[in-house]
Amino acid sequence: MTQDDIENFRLTIDTTALGIPNILELTLDQIKAMPRHEIVATLQCSGNRRAEFNTKSQTSGTPWYQGAISTAKWSGVRLRDILKAAGIDDDKLCQNLDAHVRFATLDDFHSSITIDKAYSITGDCIVAYEMNGEPIPGDHGFPLRLIVPGYIGVRNVKWLDRITIHKEEAEGPFQRGLNYKILPPSVQDASSVDLSKFPSMYEPSVFSGITQVSQKGSKFQCDDGSEAVEVVVKGWAWAGGGRNIARVDITGDGGITWTAAEITEGGNQPFNRAWAWVFWTATLPEVPVNEHGLVQIASKAVDAAYNSQVESPDPIWNIRGLSNNSWFRYSAKCA
Q: What percent of the chain has pLDDT over 90?
A: 91
Mean pLDDT of 168-182: 96
Instruction: Give the bridge partners for 121, in sequence order.
Output: none
Question: At residue 67, what are phi and psi to the nearest 5 degrees?
Answer: -90, -5
DSSP letter for each residue of 2-39: -HHHHHH--EEEE-GGGT---EEEE-HHHHHTSPEEEE
Indicate the DSSP class of residue 308: B
Q: Strand pairing partners for 126? A: 78, 147
Q: Where are the domains of the chain?
A: 3-197, 206-333
Question: pLDDT at position 233, please?
Answer: 98
Predicted local confidence at residue 143, as pLDDT: 97
Q: Summarize pLDDT for 176-220 with one digit per residue, the tens.
A: 999 999 999 999 999 889 999 999 999 999 999 999 999 999 999
Helices (H), 86-128: 90-95, 115-119
Q: What CA–CA distance (Å, rounded) separates 308 from 51?
A: 21
| Identity of the amino acid at 290 | N
Give the span between the Cα atoms of 50 and 30, in whole angstroms. Answer: 41
Given a cut of 80, whether residue 3 has pLDDT beyond it is no
pTM equals 0.95
Question: Which overall architecture, per CATH, does domain 3-197 show?
Answer: Alpha-Beta Complex (3.90)
Task: Please report which residue ranges of 155-296 form alpha helices under DSSP H.
Answer: none
For 290, other C-beta atoms within 10 Å of its C-beta total 12
Compute the CA torsion angle 281, 283, 287, 291 (nearest 10 deg): 50
- Model pLDDT, residue 2: 72
Q: With residue 79 as reference, give the H or E element that holds it.
A: helix 79-85
Compute CA distances 309 → 18, 125, 185, 305, 312, whole Å: 41, 27, 17, 12, 9
Model pLDDT, residue 4: 67
48-72: average pLDDT: 95
Apex 239 CA angle, 139 and 114, nearest 5: 70
Q: Residue 188 to residues 59, 182, 184, 230, 245: CA-CA distances in angstroms?
A: 9, 12, 9, 43, 34
What is the rounded distance in angstroms from the CA atom of residue 76 to the CA atom of residue 228? Answer: 51
Q: pLDDT, tens digit, for every residue of 221-245?
A: 998 889 999 999 999 999 999 999 9
pLDDT tens digits along 257-293: 999 999 999 999 999 999 999 999 999 999 999 999 9
Q: List the beta strands (DSSP E) in the chain.
A: 11-14, 23-26, 36-44, 69-78, 100-105, 110-114, 126-131, 134-135, 145-147, 160-166, 206-221, 227-239, 245-251, 259-260, 262-265, 278-288, 294-303, 328-333
CATH code for the structural domain at 206-333: 2.60.40.650
Exposure class string for 41-73: b at 16+ Cβ within 10 A, else e: bbbbbbbbbbbbbeeeeebebeebebebbebbe
Closest Cα partner for 282 from 265, 256, 297, 261? 261
Output b/e per residue, 117-129; b: 16+ Cβ within 10 A.
bbbeeebbbbbbb
Q: What is the mean pLDDT of the chain?
A: 96
